[in-house]
């Protein structure tokens, strides 16, 4: 029986501001198997954890991440939009996160946000950080941008990469294999038995996002997918435990 791993999507992002240390720490405390996060580059080429290219949704800043230095970004409030109790929360760098993460018994998914802005050398910069903190063997690099994944494989062919998509495509697993990807990360509405079968045939790991509803969690467990990404890891763990009891 395949145990479906549970990745906290941007941390426990229903309980704390996404992609911040409070969200990551809550995911760890909940018992999540892994953490998923997003990387953009600052003006001074520091990888930071934020989903949007623009600052307006999750901070009190405006404009683009790439137009600020890391020191400038640190001054922004990245928590009040979620709740006033997180007003002292700031944008975290990949290195700062990895210093906390490296001794945790968890997996990591780093999404390279290169589908809107193709940050120069982001693949090498992120790779160097992951290598420095000795977490490459439990990290998967994902992106909607196949060129990013190809560049990552050029840096080190043994790095695990995943092609991200929300679009229904013919021969999707074959396409993922053609760009050297080791896994497919797809939106939950694309999940069916046929896709699971085809991924297994191609020896591709299959992970599903973003799974917040109990019925979809159950479908993932029933189909034995490799992992799911969820904003509510504490609930996904609870339902997985109940599902496992039902299988005995």
Model pTM score: 0.97
Choosing from 9, 133, 185, 188, the catalytic residue is 9
Choosing from 45, 51, 133, 234, the catalytic residue is 51
* Angle (nearest 5°) at CA 32 between 27 and 37: 60
Residues of the chain with pLDDT under 70: 1
51 is catalytic: yes
Return the pLDDT at 248: 84
What CATH number belongs to 5-247? 3.20.20.190
Q: Where are the domains of the chain?
A: 5-247
Return the pLDDT at 245: 94
Return the pLDDT at 2: 79
205 token code pair:
């790991």
89 token code pair:
């929360």
């Amino acid at each position: 029986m395949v145990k479906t791993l549970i990745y906290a999507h941007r941390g426990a992002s229903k309980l704390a501001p996404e992609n911040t240390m409070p969200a990551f720490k809550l995911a760890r405390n909940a018992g999540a198997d892994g953490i998923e996060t997003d990387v953009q580059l600052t003006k001074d080429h520091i990888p930071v954890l934020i989903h949007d290219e623009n600052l307006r949704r999750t901070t009190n800043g405006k404009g683009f991440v790439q137009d600020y230095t890391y020191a400038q970004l640190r001054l922004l409030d990245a928590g009040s939009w979620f709740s006033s109790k997180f007003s002292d929360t700031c944008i975290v760098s990949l290195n700062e996160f990895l210093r906390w993460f490296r001794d945790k018994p968890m997996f990591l998914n780093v999404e390279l946000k290169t589908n809107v802005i193709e940050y120069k050398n982001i693949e090498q910069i992120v790779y160097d950080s992951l290598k420095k903190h000795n977490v490459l063997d439990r990290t998967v690099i994902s992106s909607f941008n196949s060129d990013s994944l190809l560049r990552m494989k050029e840096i080190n062919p043994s790095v695990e990469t995943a092609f991200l998509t929300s679009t229904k495509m013919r021969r999707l697993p074959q396409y993922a294999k053609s760009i050297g990807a080791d896994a497919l990360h797809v939106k939950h509405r694309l999940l069916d038995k046929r896709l699971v079968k085809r991924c297994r045939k191609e020896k591709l790991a299959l992970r599903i996002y973003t799974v917040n509803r109990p019925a979809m969690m159950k479908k993932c467990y029933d189909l034995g997918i490799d992992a799911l990404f969820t904003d509510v890891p504490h609930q996904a763990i609870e339902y997985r435990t109940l599902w496992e009891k039902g299988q005995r």
